[in-house]
Amino acid sequence: MPTITAEKLRQIAIDIFMAVGVPKNEARLVAEHLVEANLAGVDSHGVIRIPRYVRRIQQGRIRPGADIQVVRETSTTALINGNWGFGQVIALKAMNLAIKKAEEHGVGIVGVFNCNHIGRLAHYSTLALKHNMIGIILCNGPPLVAPFGGMDRILNTGPISVAVPAGREGPIVMDISTSVSSEGKIRTKRNMGKLVPDGWLLDKDGRPTNDPNALYEGGVILPLGGNVGYKGYALGLVVDVLGGALTGAGCASSEEYKGGNGVFIMVLNVANFTSVQDFKKRVDTLIRTIKTSRVAPGFNRILIPGEPEIQESIRRSKEGIPIDDETWRSITEIAKEVGVSISNQG
Amino acid sequence: MPTITAEKLRQIAIDIFMAVGVPKNEARLVAEHLVEANLAGVDSHGVIRIPRYVRRIQQGRIRPGADIQVVRETSTTALINGNWGFGQVIALKAMNLAIKKAEEHGVGIVGVFNCNHIGRLAHYSTLALKHNMIGIILCNGPPLVAPFGGMDRILNTGPISVAVPAGREGPIVMDISTSVSSEGKIRTKRNMGKLVPDGWLLDKDGRPTNDPNALYEGGVILPLGGNVGYKGYALGLVVDVLGGALTGAGCASSEEYKGGNGVFIMVLNVANFTSVQDFKKRVDTLIRTIKTSRVAPGFNRILIPGEPEIQESIRRSKEGIPIDDETWRSITEIAKEVGVSISNQG
């Protein structure tokens, strides 16, 4: 398993994307996004995606340099037609627009349709932090999740990320799926030959299973909550409605849905509600109260959402990013195919 | 266990509240709220609250007729000081203000502080439906929930309600706590002498327990998600931040928090993003797809969030509302105390 520096990985990604016709600014932006995910330890949304993105460009499904159009707009809301450009490019533009609106009018809400895979959601929500704003982003995607009590693939994994600025403490950065697991985690278990925990999957006949292969043989992921899975199911429905029905991307299980992500973004300007200083003091106190509370038997410590990713990011920035052999093989293969020499780099 | 008509229950509640000095319009509004909760089958938020509310009025903690002030305002946002009036009166005013803003500017966001218990959240979110808007409300409250990995009471049960208008189908109405259970459900189990399911509670020593009494002896409710409880924990944190830190009500575990609910409301005008007709068609299709999907082994049917409450409401409107003996005893007792004769009514 090779360990590669973030800088080298970024350059490899840029070179590969540019070799298949991606404009330099977009190649950089997507490369930056993918490597940041690897740095955070979220390898499922990192450079593992490069070969898939290249194939989609070659198939015409990702259209680099696409014209991203704001098709509806008010002072606080906007709807964006991504015209099937790179999801990362579209979502970044949408997030920046929401921040601008929140800066001027206290809140910014932006919906996005015709948009490819946008990657790791925390990448966007955290952009609001330096503006002293709360960043919220959620999206729908391919149907993989059963409604509570059902066994068909109706909902998507319903990811939501919320980033909350703190004062002296690190920010709170939630980035979760509203199903019991993301697809990426189940794929990782499968690739490593491991079982999934109880309560994650049903096989194609609706029977509970620990075999991750079941998902790829007609099985389905369960909504968050176990015996109260109606809660994760309801959250997943809301994500599908906001990401799919409100934006026009289409709900995950509908004929209208054409792949990629229907995206819903919301940015709240803290200063519009309370003093930024007071707000940050409250968040700091909340974080410190959690940090000084008693740890339950069976646990080592209590983490703040986003904390593991920040710690991993610091570590991998120093020590490099471990890339599993299969991912590295597929990246070097696609590099060779498009005429990029990896060994000469970095 | 007596069964009482909604009309009679409403009148009893109005009479009791007016007997302790609540203005008629507020008495009606709160009575309506409580009985609607009973009709929906959410008895924990129904007339069972009457004696507690009366005590709080007598203690000066609920101040009927309080001046509800908008202390900050933009075209799309507002912050309301409830001045410790009836939570239901304050939250209704806040919701109506958010709807008005969404009508005029596409979105309305209202925060509320100095606010008593606002009751059942779906009562407010569903008010957006007839305006073809999506209604969202969440609030913080007393700390009862452990962070993931912890055993101290830091977070509240973090309830969120989202109401989504449909076309020919019934609406989607999510109303959930982001802990594995609300406090009310655990109290109900205790009152009925039943155990709670695995994964709901830790006792005062942090050990998993099925005994609902443990919560009232220093125990703690767990966040939603079981072995992925970091998800419910993150959601609960976001609720505490939006309801407590952003509004100034104070986070649940802070000294600043003075009881009641810190409330965050958001209303989205569908027409600002997409055609209302198209939106409703998408939601209808989503609901029908769910309804025609296969039921998993061990389940009888798949419900849409909000559907059980609508069905129960229809049934109880016809057949009356069953009130458990203990609740009925406490209502008749408080009625007698404040000089309201129940037997002569209805």
- What pLDDT does residue A100 have? 98
Per-residue model confidence as pLDDT tens digits over B2-57: 999 999 999 999 999 999 999 999 999 999 999 999 999 999 899 999 999 999 99
Smallest Cα distance from B277 to chain A, Å: 11
CB contact under 8 A, B290 and A147: yes
Smallest Cα distance from B112 to chain A, Å: 10
What is the percent of chain A where pLDDT is above 70? 99
Smallest Cα distance from A115 to chain B, Å: 16
Query: A326 near A2, Cβ under 8 Å?
Result: no
The label of the residue with tokens 């969202």 reads: B136
Option in B231, B245, B294 nearest A176 (CB): B231
Classify the C-alpha dihedral B319-B325-B327-B330 as positive or negative. Answer: positive
DSSP line for B210-239: --GGGGGGT-EEPBTTGGGTHHHHHHHHHH
Residue A130 burial (10 A CB sphere; 0-12, 13-18, 19+): exposed
CB contact under 8 A, A107 and B77: yes
The label of the residue with tokens 């001027």 reads: A104
The label of the residue with tokens 């007709």 reads: B277
Option in B154, B238, B268 nearest A293 (CB): B154
Query: B321 near B9, Cβ under 8 Å?
Result: yes
> pLDDT under 70 in chain B at which residues?
343-346
Q: A199: which chain B residues are within 8 Å (Cβ-Cβ)?
A: 226-227
Q: A223: which chain B residues are within 8 Å (Cβ-Cβ)?
A: none
Which ipTM score applies to this complex? Answer: 0.97
DSSP line for B92-136: HHHHHHHHHHHHHHSEEEEEEES------THHHHGGGGGGTEEEE
Res A175 pLDDT > 60: yes
Smallest Cα distance from B58 to chain A, Å: 32
The label of the residue with tokens 């052999």 reads: A325
Residue in chain B nearest A75 by alpha carbon: B105
Option in A230, A233, A302 nearest B147 (CB): A302
CB contact under 8 A, A79 and B278: no
Smallest Cα distance from A176 to chain B, Å: 6
CA atoms of B235 and B239, how far apart (whole Å): 6
Strand order in the sheet with A172-176: A69-73, A77-81, A107-113, A263-269, A133-139, A160-164, A172-176
Q: A76: which chain B residues are within 8 Å (Cβ-Cβ)?
A: 75-76, 105-107
Among B206, B71, B199, CA closest to B152: B206
CA atoms of A119 and A133, how far apart (whole Å): 22
CB contact under 8 A, A296 and B231: no
Q: B238: which chain A residues are within 8 Å (Cβ-Cβ)?
A: 162, 164, 172, 174
CB contact under 8 A, B232 and A224: yes
Q: A294: which chain B residues are within 8 Å (Cβ-Cβ)?
A: 150-152, 206
CB contact under 8 A, A238 and B74: no
Query: A230 near A217, Cβ under 8 Å?
Result: no
Q: B122: which chain A residues are within 8 Å (Cβ-Cβ)?
A: none
Smallest Cα distance from B193 to chain A, Å: 20
Residue in chain B nearest A287 by alpha carbon: B237
- What pLDDT does residue B148 have? 98
Q: What is the average pLDDT across A218-244?
A: 97
Smallest Cα distance from A128 to chain B, Å: 15
CA atoms of B119 and A302, how far apart (whole Å): 31
- What pLDDT does residue B344 have? 45
CB contact under 8 A, B79 and A286: no
Option in B151, B278, B302 nearest A150 (CB): B302
Classify the C-alpha dihedral A146-A149-A152-A154 as positive or negative. Answer: negative
- What pLDDT does residue A107 have? 97
A102-114 b/e with 16+ CB inside 10 Å = b?
Answer: beebbbbbbbbbb
- DSSP label at B194? P
CB contact under 8 A, A162 and B305: no
Smallest Cα distance from B346 to chain A, Å: 38
CB contact under 8 A, B197 and A227: yes
- CA distances, A276 to each of A76, A101, A168, A282, A292 (Å): 21, 18, 13, 10, 24
Place A150 in a pLDDT band, splitting at 50, 70 and 90: very high
- What pLDDT does residue B26 have? 98
- What pLDDT does residue A176 have? 98
Option in B75, B278, B290 nearest A248 (CB): B278
- DSSP label at B49? G
Smallest Cα distance from A114 to chain B, Å: 14
Per-residue model confidence as pLDDT tens digits over A154-163: 999 999 999 9
Residue B151 burial (10 A CB sphere; 0-12, 13-18, 19+): buried
B316 Cα distance to chain centroid: 19
CB contact under 8 A, A107 and B105: no
CB contact under 8 A, B274 and A245: yes
CA atoms of A302 and A324, how far apart (whole Å): 29
Option in B151, B238, B254 nearest A285 (CB): B254
CB contact under 8 A, B303 and A230: yes
DSSP line for A22-61: --HHHHHHHHHHHHHHHHTT-GGGTGGGHHHHHHHHHTTS
CB contact under 8 A, A273 and B76: no
Smallest Cα distance from B282 to chain A, Å: 6
What residues contact B99, with CB distance under 8 A and at least 6 apart? B108, B127, B128, B131, B133, B135, B267
Q: A74: which chain B residues are within 8 Å (Cβ-Cβ)?
A: 105-106, 272
Res A115 pLDDT > 60: yes
Res A52 pLDDT > 90: yes
B215 Cα distance to chain centroid: 20
Option in A256, A297, A302 nearest B207 (CB): A297
Interface test with B, best of A110, A195, A231 (most B CBs within 10 A): A231
CB contact under 8 A, A234 and B176: yes
CB contact under 8 A, A289 and B206: no
Q: B246: which chain A residues are within 8 Å (Cβ-Cβ)?
A: 134, 268, 270, 273-274, 279
Smallest Cα distance from B245 to chain A, Å: 6
